[in-house]
Amino acid sequence: MPALPAGEMTVLGLPAMWVAAALLLLTYAAVVSEKINRAVVAMLGATLTIVLGILSQEQAVEGVDFNTIGLLTGMMIIVAVSRRSGMFEYLAIRSAKLVKANPAAIMAMLQIVTAVMSAFLDNVTAVLLVVPVTLLICERLAVKPYPMLVALVFAANIGGTATLVGDPPNILIGSRVGISFSEFIINLGPVVVVIQLVACLLFHLLWGRRLSTTMRARAQVMAFRERSAIVDPGLLIQSLAVLALVVAGFVLAPELDLEPATVALFGAALLLLMSCLRRTADAQTRSVSQSLEAVEWITIFFFIGLFIIVAGVESTGLLDLLAEELLAFTEGDLRITALAILWASAILSMLVDNIPFVATMIPIIEEMAPTFGGEDRLMPLWWALSLGACLGGNGTIIGASANLAVAGLAERAGIRFLFLQYAKVAVPMMLLTVAIAMAYVELRFL
Amino acid sequence: MTCRTIMNPDPPVLLATETVGEALNRLLTRRYLALPVVDDDRRYIGLFAKSRLFGLMLPSIVALEDMLPKIAHLTDLAYLSDDLDDLRERFARFRDRPVAKYADPEAPTLRPESPLMEAILLVFRTRNFVPVVEPQSRRLVGVVSTWDILAKLQPER
């Protein structure tokens, strides 16, 4: 434990505050550069925080938000098991057939499906489940997949904004501040619906209405037998039951005095248990290994490392100083502070990964509680941070993990996903969505 | 003992300029599982395997699965109702393209100096044959197949 007050700590003869800040900035830079895997960067930054004496190992472990880690891991396992039923392909094909395989309408339908899925699963998972079937449908319709993919990226980031579990920034905010699943939906759901509908309309005007195909190609898609996509009906029933139970658990978590991580991990354990029943020990081991392999350990270790780095910066008192500076800039006005956070989050999330940004902003906002008269008065700031960080990520290919995942997948499929080409469409659309969010924050919370 | 001792130094090859259709004929008539693709100077380009032809019949996203996270793999294709005519039509789009475009440059290769056990391990893992390539010139100097290795196990006469 440091014996000196936070601001007076030194590391290697230098003020600890600046060493910790340098570590955080280096981590940001390394993550943005993408030269080194982000999990490695975060692990290195976290261990250096301990090696340099900014935090002890015990303090570092305390800095990790295991509610976020448990929630992410639990949901990843649930998706890994349930996707084997074929339910997500069924959903995408059914949506395409519902609109008679009309390309423009498919584009709108798949955006809605992705947005809804993204509200209950993390964004990357949602797009990775929908994009392969989308590419297959585009191939059969002989339409360019690029417009659909960009629209899906937007839908994933917009839909994820609506719930506690939909987007990593929300998981971070909800877990640290104790905002429930229901509170997220009640407070952000309405504006997310409006923004998604506006996005659907804009994508239709921009690209959708020009997508055309032949009747023969449409007939090919209409010939898809979506029922055959369900390869394991038993698993489908189990998955739907567990997903319903988990969503109910999220909604009732505050009344049951449970954390979302417990709900997600319980659901994951239940689904794994059901997949083990009536199987030999070897088959159980194979099935469980397969499910656990699907956990994105890179994301999990990235979060763990990041929590420790931010805890290190927080322990030095630097974030208190930044909070004071932000308050001085906004003259302690809640409205100006909320709008500044919304726009700063949106612009910065467009340029840097929104996860480290939000992880850094949370303690800064917490420091503002005394100025605004208590923690309850901070709620508009949390909604502003969530909306800004989640929607801002749409602006560039590097703005959010879902964008990078789709861009990477598209490149491998031979679809060019260029930074400027994407930004030309995405930046104005992102700014419009944030403007809608600004109006909403002003009207609803200020 | 090295690969040079056990390899077949004169294996059948496909020329880069040959078409996918010609490659299919070669594979079908001799029942080869795969053939190495080389340019006019016998520089190795990659391996054209029977499985690659199958890949061309499938939606292109399936052919990319090796490069995608598991969560992005299609669970099944039972919902597609394609028949043989559809497959023939799809194959017709590739038939006249040069085979070099579809050769896999990432397929494992051996060097002439690779030890025997490395060769056996690769042949075992690929369940096929492995091209032997000169590291400097990238020239194909032979292939090592299960048959080459098994033949060497026979007592010498």
Q: Using a CB–CB cutoff of 8 Å, tell me whether A81 touches chain B.
A: no
Flag if B64 and A227 touch (Cβ within 8 Å): no
Residue B154: pLDDT band (50, 70, 90) is confident
Cα-based torsion angle of the residue sequence A426, A428, A429, A431 in order, rounded to the nearest 10 degrees:
120
The 3-state secondary structure of chain B, one letter per residue: CEHHHHCECCCCCEECCCEHHHHHHHHHHHCCCEEEEECCCCEEEEEEEHHHHHHHHCCHHHHCHHHCCHHHCCCCCCCCCCCHHHHHHHHHHHHCCEHHHHCECCCCCECCCCEHHHHHHHHHHHCCCEEEECCCCCEEEEEECHHHHHHHHCCCC
Residue of higher predicted confidence among A381 and B156? A381
- For A34-102, where are the alpha helices, taking DSSP H only? 38-51, 57-63, 66-82, 87-98
Flag if B80 and A224 touch (Cβ within 8 Å): yes
pTM across the whole model: 0.83
What three-state secondary structure class fits A11? strand
The nearest alpha carbon in chain A to B77 belongs to A229
Which residue of B79, B80, B82, B83 is the best one to mutate when testing the A interface, meaning the one whose CB has the most A CBs within 10 A?
Answer: B79
Fill in the amino acid letter for A124: V
Name every chain B residue with its beta carbon within 8 A of the beta carbon of A411: none
Task: Please compute, for residue A395, the number of CA atoms within 13 A of its CA located in the half-sphere on the CB side.
Answer: 25
Which residue of A82, A89, A141, A411 is the best one to mutate when testing the B interface, meaning the one whose CB has the most B CBs within 10 A?
Answer: A89
Flag if B74 and A136 touch (Cβ within 8 Å): yes
- Contact criterion met (CB below 8 Å) for B106 and B66: no
Task: Write the CA distances from B68 to A4, A133, A336, integer angstroms.
Answer: 50, 14, 44
Q: Using a CB–CB cutoff of 8 Å, tell me whether B87 touches chain A.
A: no
Token pair belonging to A324? 């004071």
pLDDT digits (tens, 9 = 90+) for A415-441: 888 888 999 999 999 999 999 999 999
Flag if B80 and A227 touch (Cβ within 8 Å): no
b/e burial code for range A332-355 (CB count within 10 A of at least 16 → b): eebeebbbbbbbbbbbbbbebbbb
Flag if A224 and B81 touch (Cβ within 8 Å): yes
Which residue of B57, B80, B90 is the best one to mutate when testing the A interface, meaning the one whose CB has the most A CBs within 10 A?
Answer: B80
B6 CA to chain A: closest CA distance, Å? Answer: 37
Partnered with residue B139 across adjacent β-strands are B43
DSSP string, A243-261: HHHHHHHHHHHHHHT--HH
Q: Using a CB–CB cutoff of 8 Å, tell me whether B66 touches chain A.
A: no
What three-state secondary structure class fits A411? helix
The nearest alpha carbon in chain B to A94 belongs to B79
pLDDT of res. A164: 93
b/e burial code for range A79-90 (CB count within 10 A of at least 16 → b): bbbbbbbbbbbb
Residue B156: pLDDT band (50, 70, 90) is low
Fill in the amino acid letter for A169: P
A vs B: CB pairs below 8 A:
71
Neighbours of A281 (CB within 10 A): 8
Q: Using a CB–CB cutoff of 8 Å, tell me whether A424 touches chain B.
A: no
Name every chain B residue with its beta carbon within 8 A of the beta carbon of A133: 74
Q: Distance (Å, rounded) from C-alpha A310 to C-alpha A301?
A: 14
pLDDT of res. B8: 92
Closest by Cβ to B72, choosing from A84, A128, A414? A128
For chain B, which domains are there?
Answer: 3-153 (3.10.580.10)
- Tokens 């800004």 label which residue? A388
- Tokens 């976020």 label which residue? A68
Whether this model's ipTM surpasses 0.85 comes out as no
Flag if A294 and B72 touch (Cβ within 8 Å): no
Name every chain B residue with its beta carbon within 8 A of the beta carbon of A293: 70
- Contact criterion met (CB below 8 Å) for A172 and A355: yes
Fill in the amino acid letter for A100: K
Q: Quick one: CA dihedral A93, A95, A98, A104, positive or negative?
A: negative
Name every chain B residue with its beta carbon within 8 A of the beta carbon of A413: 60-61, 64
pLDDT of res. A212: 92
Task: Please compute, for residue A286, the number of CA atoms within 13 A of its CA located in the half-sphere on the CB side.
Answer: 5
- Tell me which H or E stretch contains A14: strand A14-15
Q: Using a CB–CB cutoff of 8 Å, tell me whether A226 touches chain B.
A: yes
Closest by Cβ to A228, choosing from B67, B68, B79? B79
Residue B110: pLDDT band (50, 70, 90) is very high
- Contact criterion met (CB below 8 Å) for B42 and B141: no
Which residue of B56, B64, B71 is the best one to mutate when testing the A interface, meaning the one whose CB has the most A CBs within 10 A?
Answer: B71
Question: Between helices A260-276 and A281-293, what is the axis angle to 10°?
Answer: 140
Segment B104-116 mean pLDDT = 92
The vertex-A80 CA angle with A176 and B106, nearest 5°, equals 115
Tens digit of pLDDT at every position of chain A (446 positions):
444 555 567 777 888 888 999 998 898 888 877 788 889 999 999 999 999 999 999 999 999 989 889 988 999 899 989 989 999 999 999 999 999 999 999 999 999 999 999 999 888 889 989 999 999 999 999 999 999 999 999 999 999 999 999 998 999 999 889 999 999 999 999 999 999 999 999 999 999 999 999 999 999 999 999 999 999 999 999 999 999 999 999 999 888 999 889 999 999 999 999 989 889 999 999 999 989 988 888 888 988 998 999 899 889 988 888 888 888 888 889 999 999 999 999 998 887 778 888 988 999 999 899 989 888 899 999 999 999 999 999 999 878 888 988 888 888 788 888 888 999 999 999 999 999 999 999 999 98
